[in-house]
Structure 1
């Protein structure tokens, strides 16, 4: 099972013949992709973006192609997943998780094209007519309550019915009295400015006493969820915090497969899991995570701080999830050249994304745009003052 059997009958897509990686520079971060070709003339794309380790994910993808992909039938998604994970001794982790996820996306893209159907038809079909999304990345100005409120109004004016933000600045572990007050004032200003769902991001960085204090402070503002208030090194304390919380607790973006998620499910850590389709194993694995979440009466709100490719792939993935609630998107903050580079990405209209109609993912990577916008390999430190500007003014 862990070797490529070229004598086995092959499916309608043929065999994988070539694998490429491409990286696009933006004002915020570099977006990386894998493009897989078959000897039947088909190709599929997937996202392998890592916030900081783009060189590593592209390098590992190219190495894995030689070891596990060339000559394989792209319809053998379970076997290919196992071959990359077990055969490469990944044992989890972010770089390997990203690579497996992007390759898996590309395989579903190829399968959909080979069969002439959108990828979601291969992952359970649709149990909804459209996918609700929320905006993130919109608060790139000064960390000031009035500034946050003004930008929140702008987001809602564009049709979004939900938004998420981190009001806590460079706080880590604890917040000073002044910083706590400033953070809560930002939440209060946003709540006063917009009558939509708001979600608060903790970025997995507070000590237990501070997290408990924040639960009390946030309660008056009708928060949809408090995301990752504690570091995941303290996963057992999540359940304790969840019992004390007046709002749902969410998390899980830092886990890369069912094995890493096992402790989250076993401890009842959250109300809402947030697997990322470009980190948690692609279509093949995220469907399994959603099923396990349903067994534990948990909802699924996928994390997606990536490009419109991951947004589009995530829409395909969640259409057939009964316990899906809402999808994250940063698409509204991106430059026009990103959409020119990933032609065919699904648009956000009135805070929702409609049913895909094109075969596979329906996305084509435009090489010329990539050449015009090479990667910058920049790094922004979210524990430094002003990180929320994401290198913007």
Structure 2
């Protein structure tokens, strides 16, 4: 099962002949990509962005390609997924999870091109005409209620009907009384500025101890939140259900998990109301469909995490179109420099807070090497537990 079988009949896609990686530097983060070629002249792309371990992720992708992919039929998606996961003895982990996810995207891209159909036709088809998205990253600047409110109004004016933000500054474990008051005032100011019809999601970044998280679900109750995201660290996953019982708003989370095995305790304890798997971290199309089905078994919704590039946004739309229990998709696309869209062409546009049906075969996205050469990785870092991180001044 875990070795390349060159005797099997080969599809029109041919066999995998080469795997390469690319990285693009931006002011947000370094974006990583994998491009897989076949001996039939096809190629597919996937996103392997890791927030801070980009070079390590690219190195592992190239090493795993030689161990498990070269000579394989890209249509053997389940076997290749198992080969990469079990054959390398990863059994989880962030770098391996990102590589596996990006490779899975690229294989679906190849299959779609070989068949002449958009990738979403291979992952359940479409059960909706468009995918709703929410904006994140819009609140870059000073951590003051007025500043957040003004930027929220600007973002809604671009057509977004849902916003996510972290009002908590550098808080970790506990918040002082003054910091808790300022955080709540920021949420109140945003709600007042955008009105009752815009959905608001508050990000906790898995940072609070139980007493503070419990206080916050009470303090934030008046603002009619769409969810409170990751209020507790996942080292305390067993307490999520207890917090859910106290909360009037839904609790969401799961972006840190890389496959169904890491999600197992989340489902077993009914930790959240909404799961947030990331297509570029949680195992690609192959695994995301399984996670959505498991969530459906637990009466949970799916709101894919996506703090990545427009490639992952577009790939996530392909995946989201066939998820029956989808809520909404995250995007940072409006935060990015124009050259990102020159480097990653064919990505789907956001129109009035929604992304429509893809039309091109595969993912419909191509990487332009010349633009990558002009914008090499920056290896910048910003620490969201340092004061002023929301200004996103990288070091």
| TM-score greater than 0.5 by the shorter chain | yes
| Structure-2 separation of matches of 1:249 and 1:118 | 33
**What residue in structure 2 maps to residue 45 of structure 1?**
45
**What residue in structure 1 maps to residue 294 of structure 2?**
292
**What residue in structure 1 maps to residue 253 of structure 2?**
251
| Structure-2 separation of matches of 1:43 and 1:345 | 17
Which structure 2 residues correspond to residues 317-356 of structure 1 after superposition, within 5 A? 317-356=319-358
| Structure-2 separation of matches of 1:267 and 1:64 | 34
**What residue in structure 1 maps to residue 227 of structure 2?**
225
Pairwise CA RMSD of aligned residues? 0.6
- Cα distance, 1:325 vs. partner? 0.6
| Structure-2 separation of matches of 1:387 and 1:105 | 32
Listed one character per residue, the Cα deviations across residues 65-103 of structure 1 (whole Å, up to 9, x for unaligned) are: 100111000000100000000000001011000000000
**What residue in structure 1 maps to residue 168 of structure 2?**
168
| Structure-2 separation of matches of 1:193 and 1:43 | 47
**What residue in structure 2 maps to residue 11 of structure 1?**
11
SS in 1 for 2:22: strand
SS in 2 for 1:37: strand
| Structure-2 separation of matches of 1:99 and 1:234 | 27
SS in 2 for 1:223: coil
How many aligned residue pairs are there? 392
Which structure 2 residues correspond to residues 1-393 of structure 1 after superposition, within 5 A? 1-195=1-195, 196-391=198-393
- Cα distance, 1:391 vs. partner? 2.1
Listed one character per residue, the Cα deviations across residues 86-122 of structure 1 (whole Å, up to 9, x for unaligned) are: 0000010110000000000000000000000000000
> What's the TM-score once normalised by structure 1's chain length?
0.99
CA contact (8 A) 1:28 1:391 kept: no
- Cα distance, 1:12 vs. partner? 1.3
> What's the TM-score once normalised by structure 2's chain length?
0.99
SS in 1 for 2:257: coil
| Structure-2 separation of matches of 1:182 and 1:274 | 27
| Structure-2 separation of matches of 1:72 and 1:314 | 25
- Cα distance, 1:386 vs. partner? 1.2
- Cα distance, 1:388 vs. partner? 1.2
Consecutive aligned runs of 4 or more in structure 1 exceeding 6 Å deviation: none
| Structure-2 separation of matches of 1:192 and 1:245 | 21
Listed one character per residue, the Cα deviations across residues 308-342 of structure 1 (whole Å, up to 9, x for unaligned) are: 00000000001011000100000010000100100
| Structure-2 separation of matches of 1:37 and 1:203 | 37
Which sections of structure 2, spanning at least 5 residues, go unmatched? none
